[in-house]
Amino acid sequence: VQLQASGGGQVQTGGSLRLSCAASGSIVSINGMGWYRQAPGKQRELVADITRGGSTNYVDSVKGRFTISRDNARNTVYLQMNSLNHEDTAVYYCNADVRTRSWSFVYANYWGQGTQVTVSS
């Protein structure tokens, strides 16, 4: 299973970016999907996650500015980021719990490769 993240880049304060992460490979189903970020010198933190049914959860610092969504048919999760500020600068990683065997209900956790988001003033 591979998670391919895209959509990062450099944007000015107040701007917007949309991240995408597509899962591919031997996939039976995907449970939770999410976005994490890691800024220089800081620990990786959960930004937002979403269940297969669409229930969402956000870290307080992005509430009202970021929106996570997913397309189950495309095995893809998105993160719409608006009103970006310098504190949002980080490498963003997607994450997913994936079931890969039809005869097993075990879900394994996978990470994408990370995409850089830089917010400049």
Which tens digit of pLDDT belongs to each residue from 83-115? 999 999 999 999 999 999 999 999 999 999 999
Specify the pLDDT at position 25.
96
Q: Which of 4, 1, 33 is CA-nearest to residue 115? A: 4
Distance, in Å, from the CA atom of 76 to the CA atom of 72, rounded to the nearest integer, reads: 7
Q: Which residues contact 86 (CB under 8 A, 6 or more apart)?
A: 13, 119, 120, 121
Positions of the chain with pLDDT lower than 50, given as ranges: none
Tell me if 76 sits within 8 A of 23, measured CB to CB.
yes
SS3 11: strand
Specify the pLDDT at position 121.
86
